[in-house]
A and B are shown apart, each in its own frame.
Chain A
Amino acid sequence: MSSLGSPYSGPLRSSRRSFLTAGVGLAGAALLAACGSDDSSSGSAGAGPTTLNFLNYPDWIGKDEVAKFEAANPGMKVKQTAIADGGVAAISAQIAQNKGAFDFGLLGGVTAARLKAGDLLSTFDPSTVPNLKYIPDNFRKMFPWGIPTDLGKIGLGYRADLVPTPPASWKELFDALPDHSGKVIFPDYDRDVLGIALLALDYSVNSADEGELNKARDLVITAKPHLKAFLSANQGSGLADGSAVMTVFYDYSYGSVAGENATIKWSAPSEGLPAYIEGWVPLVDSKKLAQLATFMDWHLQPEVYGDFINATFASYLMPDAESHIAATIKDDPALKYDPNANLQFEEFTSAKGEEIRTKIWEEIKAA
């Protein structure tokens, strides 16, 4: 029928065809763009730069470490992406949902063990990282999934001028919350909040018992109305500006605010400090393990490692790097490694345990 054509049908059809072609072309291009990955950064050896995709906490690296590494290793680039907030489940989900997008990540022991159980890690070969020798054996054994980089502890920070007698235990902290209502900050991290609640109740920090975890949940939910906030970062800023009098936070957070105000103090509750070793771990489907080993080895040079500690205020694991670490960090009781400290290392227990903890954390947040 269209062959009958009106005087205008030819040009019109042609224009519609062009329009359709362009439309389909655009839709195709959009589809390809939507489905495509960031090929420019994936690189492969011998064909342009090799980019190592690093899932990291923002700025959790030496100030010029990446730039110096790239300068010393032409053809290698490091691209950092911010790791998810919220805890073990959130980080695990981020990695699982983006399989192959990241070559390695900064992971705590619990997250690494959980990912290993889900087959979401690449096998780490310690022999490819000679500088691993600088890390003491005990830490290497505690963190077999990659290179251990630092030790984290969860303690209590307080303003000595506003809380002359700080709680001596986690239990005392929970009991004292009504007296400091709206002036206490907790971290927005599932494992750590449940950890201090379990310790306050005299249970193991790694409990997988549903009854014990439910009691810990109830304790946190009771405490919630008295909390100022659950913050995923800058938990110490409230202490610095006086809007908070106590905060449950990390040793490195303390390190970063202690210099701002001499009245900010660190306290280690008597039940012990939830603690973790974290490090760089190769992730599943990474095709750049050799290049990653080079970067890992670079990171574990004592001088580079010292810069990393100076930039992050993390508790260090490498005694050989002490000469490169700022005295304010080395001499700080919160940051210096003390083998006699009562550290309760967080561990992965079981899938069932993780499932219960995830559910409980949801309940705490939504309560």
Chain B
Amino acid sequence: MANLMKTAQTKAKAAAVRRLPPRWGGWLLAVPPMLFTLLFFLAPLVLLMIYSFGKIDILTFEIKFGWNLGNWAALGNGVYLSGLIRSLVLTLVSTVLCAVIGFPTALAISRASGRIQTVLLLAIIVPYWISFVVRNYAWLTLLGPRGLVTRLLTAVHLTGPGQDLRYTTGAILVGMVSSYLPLMILPIFVAMERIDPAVLDAAADLGLTALATVRRVILPLSMPGFIAGILLVGIPATGEYTIPSILGGGKTLMVGNIIHDQFLGVGDIPVGSAIATALMGLMLVLLLATRRRVRQLEDVL
């Protein structure tokens, strides 16, 4: 009996030991990534917020920290508001364009057979390997008065001969759509790939035309992909800085350019921090507002 009890106690201890290390070990394992996140992600964000209440000396560029609400009050300034509104409008238009172009493209890829599908996917992905900046400089040439795009549009009488399409809002949109399109196509493609072929067969058996199948079956089932694409395109596009810098000719400023100008152009880190924090807050609110939909992304991302 005593032996039996001893054995039971030993087993209980062993079980306890087996349970304990994972709890502590798990925490210990989590320390480096937590430290990393704390140091390089959260701390800079906190610093950004602290800086947003500071004030800069325009000659020495020294920052006096305190409780200066002037930078936040400045956000109501038309200059910053117009930049923000312009960013939101351009983001909305480019996201819609990406979705409109991305959906049929993803559909075509998902319907293609094995090898052709691979080639089509590579055609979407490979340009993405080229530097973002280089791709946008390439557009500068293509949209120039002697550029391929301009000549093509001239040939079909959409533009006058020798017209320069660079440095316009349209050029910025072209740059944004071409840069972000893969981020829309790929999640929609993944969502489409997960549609059970039996569902499509059932739709056909029930007499739905191809167009009706797309509208009533494929489109609703691709929604998680759409939402993922909208987030992947919309969030970085709102803070876009490079594309308007290259293709906008310094005339069309988005909020990303205004933040850049505050940090590096004027050196007013407190105002730049206030705008950046406000933009981050806005994005966070939008994400939280759509969080129910975001849950659908788990299968896609």
Contacts and interface: CB of A to CB of B under 8 A. Distances in A.
A4 B253 contact: no
Interface stretch (B18-26, B205-213, B224-232): B18-26
Nearest to A232: B250
How many chain B residues sit at the interface, stated as a range, is 35 or more
Interface in B261-299: 261, 264-267
Given A23-B32, A228-B249, A358 B266 contact: yes
Interface residues of A, number: 52
A29 interface: no
Interface string A337-367: 0000000000000010011001000110111
Nearest to A92: B267
B148 to A, nearest CB: 15
A362 B79 contact: yes
A9 B39 contact: no
Interface string A18-44: 011001101100010000000000000
Contacts of B1: none
A302 to B, nearest CB: 37
Contacts of A319: none
A47 interface: no
Contacts of A92: 61, 267
B18 A229 contact: no
A119 B60 contact: yes
A182 interface: yes
Interface in B184-201: none
Interface centre among A19, A23, A229 (most CB of B within 10 A): A229
B266 A4 contact: no
A230 B17 contact: no
Given A6-B18, A93-B265, A366-B258, A20 B32 contact: yes
Interface of A is mostly: helix
Contacts of B14: 6
Contacts of A224: 251
A118 B28 CA distance: 49
Interface in A285-342: none
A231 B20 contact: no
Given A4-B17, A367-B82, A241 B146 contact: yes
A84 interface: yes
A97 B61 contact: yes
A114 B266 CA distance: 13
A16 B32 contact: no
Interface of B is mostly: helix
Interface in A81-116: 84, 86-87, 89-90, 92-94, 96-97, 114
Contacts of A19: 29
B210 to A, nearest CB: 45
A242 B164 CA distance: 10
A41 to B, nearest CB: 22
B80 interface: yes
Interface in B61-77: 61
Interface in B148-170: 162, 164, 166-167
Interface in B51-106: 57-61, 79-80, 82-83
Contacts of A182: 164
A19 B30 CA distance: 11
A89 B271 CA distance: 15
Contacts of B25: 12-13, 16
Contacts of B253: 365-366
B266 A362 contact: yes
Interface in A222-248: 224, 227-232, 241-243
A2 interface: yes
Contact of B82 (A87, A358, A366): A366
Contacts of A24: 32, 35
A16 B29 contact: yes
Contacts of A362: 79, 258, 261, 266
B202 interface: no
B264 A366 contact: no
18 contacts: A2-B20, A4-B16, A16-B28, A23-B31, A27-B32, A84-B264, A86-B261, A90-B266, A117-B59, A119-B60, A228-B164, A229-B248, A231-B250, A362-B266, A365-B261, A366-B79, A366-B80, A366-B83
3 closest pairs, A vs B, by CB?
A93-B267, A229-B249, A23-B32
Interface of A: 1-2, 4-6, 9, 12-13, 16, 19-20, 23-24, 26-27, 31, 84, 86-87, 89-90, 92-94, 96-97, 114, 117-120, 182, 188, 224, 227-232, 241-243, 351, 354-355, 358, 362-363, 365-367
